Amino acid sequence: MKSVILPKVGDEFLTYLRIEKGYSVATLSAYERDLRLFCAEQDDILSATPNSVKRFIARLNQKGLAASSISRVLSCLRSFYRYAIREGWCTVNPAAVIRNPKGKSRLPKTLDVDQVNYLLDVEPKTPLEKRDRAMFEVMYSSGTRLQELVGIDIKDVDLNEGLVHVIGKGNKARFAPIGRAANKAIHDWLATRGPFEMSDPLFTTLKGKRLSPRSVQTRLKRYGVKELGSSSLHPHMLRHSFATHLLESSGDLRAVQELLGHENISTTQVYTHLDSGYLAKVYERAHPRAKRQP
């Protein structure tokens, strides 16, 4: 394999994404990996042509890379060349004309309302169980992402207003609502954990350290096995359930988009996988020519 040292423009591009665009560490790591793979197959990345990109994508496909991962690679290359053109490094975006591969449409897995109630109505007995229920209540009540959840500090929570301030993707801040059950669960956890500063993390280990995303995943999976008999429960499933249940009740896609912190409503539209019976009721209630005559 050829050297995978990034050219100067590649390093500058990643710095731009980190500082100006506020990309997450995970996204930056993936983009850097994608750029290095592409650079390894090019004599000069700034002289690449659409055919160069097509051949590269074809090889990734032959290696069995998932359609979603190939789409991310293309997104990285398009962004890179837009930046390079803006900075005067090149004049053509060879990835702009390459279409994303068609992948299998996968609907997010969700819990039904009864399952959520069964999971969250278990009365906690130990401090750790109180912490865990508070975490799970916040995720389901506000639709927060896992990374957003572990980043919450005590000062970010307003129990009087029922709001929590979270930092989402791209360092974008928003206020997410927390319902009565989540409010009470947080109150019970704070009353259990002992003295704290407002700048402390909301969810911590028993030693007071901020809880890691992996720890949250492990605890939720354990709860899923114990209470639901399923080992497939994960934090994002609570976010999916929040969005689906809210959309089923309200039908307001735009509001759900804002609550989830989605930049584009097309991302939120995946939650419109509602059952036909519900859609029929909405149609009958809302469409002027659908209302039945008495």
Q: Give yes or no: 145 in active site.
A: yes
Q: Give yes or no: 214 in active site.
A: no
Q: Give yes or no: 271 in active site.
A: yes
What residues are paired with 166 via a beta bridge?
174
Catalytically annotated residue among 130, 131, 133, 145: 145
CB neighbours of residue 181 within 10 Å: 17
Half-sphere exposure of 55 (CA within 13 A, CB side): 8
Q: Give yes or no: 172 in active site.
A: no
Contact 232, 109 (CB under 8 A): yes
Structure tokens at 2: 């050829």
Residues 6+ apart with CB under 8 A from 237: 108, 109, 110, 111
Task: Tell me phi and psi for residue 99, to 5 degrees.
Answer: -80, 150
Catalytically annotated residue among 133, 240, 245, 262: 262
The dihedral sign for the CA sequence 19, 22, 23, 24: positive
Q: First-to-last CA distance in the chain?
A: 75
Catalytically annotated residue among 54, 169, 184, 210: 169
Catalytically annotated residue among 131, 239, 240, 245: 239
Catalytically annotated residue among 55, 236, 273, 291: 236
Q: Give yes or no: 33 in active site.
A: no
| Rounded-to-integer distance, Cα 148 and Cα 165, Å | 9
Residues with a known catalytic role: 145, 169, 236, 239, 262, 271
